[in-house]
Structure 1
């Protein structure tokens, strides 16, 4: 089972990230494949905090867009929420 970390999600989500296209393609292939993938609430919380933080990015992501990205990951039929 694949369990993407926060860096993978940030790179796949933010178009201004280095290698964005590669990470986005990998994530889309992984979540749309035949196997289940894991998603952690802790990773999603970190993703939201980092992507929307104005001290980390000159143009932080909009909270609504970041939440929508998280919803797609959580609501996909192949998603398995991993809780410690």
Structure 2
């Protein structure tokens, strides 16, 4: 199973974003072809970014974010959760990749994907290349 990163969700949702149409088309096509997953932390980031008044002049209302996540779930997206020993895996991954500061969020997403057996994480973010145990593809250039 493959998973999607926060940035694809944000671009697919926010019409003013440069990659909106491409990310929306990709997400819709992938959900029709196969089952996709999303780490829980990516959904938290999605809500935090889309509702942030310093990021968007007109932030997305919380209720719209909620409806967007419900639509993804109805379309068959699987939410990936951390497990009871996730902190050990996260810290090991962070040490191996020499992660610090806000990069810990990417390490958390990578750790969740790895422990849930994700084959590929689709992302527009190159920072995930720090984690060799996780295959990452940019769907806008991979296809």
Q: How many residues align?
A: 82
Whose helix fraction is larger, Structure 1's or Structure 2's? 2
Greater Cα radius of gyration, structure 1 or 2: 2
1:47 aligns with 2:46: yes
Q: Which has the higher contact order (CA 8 A, sep 6+)?
A: 1
CA RMSD of aligned residues (A): 1.2
Q: State the SS of the aligned residue for 2:2.
A: coil
Q: Does 1:7 align with 2:7?
A: yes
Shift, 1:5, TM fit = 0.4
Q: Give me the whole-angstrom Cα distance separating, in 2, the residues matched to 1:27 and 1:79.
A: 10
Q: After the TM superposition, which segments of 4 or more aligned residues of structure 1 sit over 4 Å from their partners?
A: none
TM-score for the superposition, normalised by structure 1: 0.88
Distance of 2:24 and 2:77 partners within structure 1: 17
Distance across 1 between alignment mates of 2:77 and 2:12: 17
Q: TM-score, normalised by structure 2?
A: 0.54
**Gap runs ≥5 in structure 2:** 83-143
CA contact (8 A) 1:31 1:79 kept: yes
Q: Distance in 1 between matches of 2:48 and 2:79?
A: 19
Higher strand share: 2
